[in-house]
Amino acid sequence: MSKTVVGITSGIDTSDGYFLGYRKSYVSEFYVKSIIKANGIPVILPIVEDEESARELIDRVDVLLISGGADVNPLMYQQEPLLKVGGIDPSRDLAEKMYFEYAKKVKKPIFGICRGLQFINVVEGGTLYQDLSYCKESSLRHMQLPEPALETHTVKLSSDCFLRDLYHKDKILTNTFHHQIVDQVAKGYKVTGLASDGAVEVLEYEGDQFIKSVQFHPEMMAANGSEEMIKLFKHVIKVGKENVK
């Protein structure tokens, strides 16, 4: 039986040596390693400009994984850019919007990580705090120092959280690498995991389709041997396999 194919959305890098300024599609190798460890096939989805290409690519994968990266353009959620917003890439926003909307239409499982959670919330009508400093309740360090697999804070899971069903416990320890968080939650979505300062850490679609996302970086932990996070990727891949007609 063929393995589940996971399409990972990519970012743009322009910093490489002799080709400084050239746009190159990339994803962190953590995503690739995590999917392979979970017995899936990783495929990098490039930043495309037309809906036909986006549809063709989604038709060829079993799961859409919206990866981490640059900030979502505040104009997407009807806000002007504030002083502490980070770098944006409207071309990525457009490509991921096409990927997401078509994957949702054809009921492909969708899993978001970090920016992926924020993007799903925005594209479905929610908003973000453009920086943690704009949220009065924010009190934790959500941008940990370099050690990628280190568990640095607790995520409390609600009784209906898919991770609670997966792990059979009401809280987990995670890493954290982000400077933005969800503000207004998109209609049709529910928050099922929170950091101790109230930052949204798990967001789930309330409909009958698998659209789930996490604010932390399970791929960094899974790639470095975390059995708990490998189990998460195995779950996503299992959902993708079951969804294939």
Record the tokens describing residue 32, joined without a space: 């690739």
Q: What is the DSSP string of 134-150?
A: G-TT--S--B--S-TT-
Q: What integer pLDDT is reported at residue 97 of this predicted model?
A: 98
Q: What integer pLDDT is reported at residue 206 of this predicted model?
A: 98
Cα 189 from Cα 10, distance rounded (Å): 24
Based on the residue annotation, tell me whether 153 is a catalytic residue of this protein.
no
Of the listed 153, 178, 217, 235, which one is catalytic? 217
Domains of the chain by range and CATH? 5-126+180-189+203-243 (3.40.50.880)
Q: What integer pLDDT is reported at residue 234 of this predicted model?
A: 98
Q: What is the DSSP string of the chain?
A: -PPPEEEEE-EEE---GGGTT--EEE--HHHHHHHHHTT-EEEEEP--SSHHHHHHHHHT-SEEEE---SBPPGGGGT-PPPTT---B-HHHHHHHHHHHHHHHHTT--EEEETHHHHHHHHHTT--EESSGGG-TT--S--B--S-TT---EEEEEPTT-HHHHHHSSSEEEE--B-S-EE-SPPTTEEEEEEETT--EEEEEESSSS-EEEESS-HHHHHHTT-HHHHHHHHHHHHHHHHH--
Q: What integer pLDDT is reported at residue 1 of this predicted model?
A: 64
Collect the ranges in the chain with pLDDT lower than 50.
Answer: none
CB 230 within 8 A of CB 34: yes
Of the listed 114, 135, 178, 201, which one is catalytic? 114
Of the listed 96, 124, 204, 219, which one is catalytic? 219
Cα 134 from Cα 84, distance rounded (Å): 9
Based on the residue annotation, tell me whether 235 is a catalytic residue of this protein.
no
pTM to 2 decimals?
A: 0.97
CB 77 within 8 A of CB 127: yes
CB 42 within 8 A of CB 237: no
Q: What integer pLDDT is reported at residue 245 of this predicted model?
A: 64
Q: What integer pLDDT is reported at residue 242 of this predicted model?
A: 93
Based on the residue annotation, tell me whether 114 is a catalytic residue of this protein.
yes
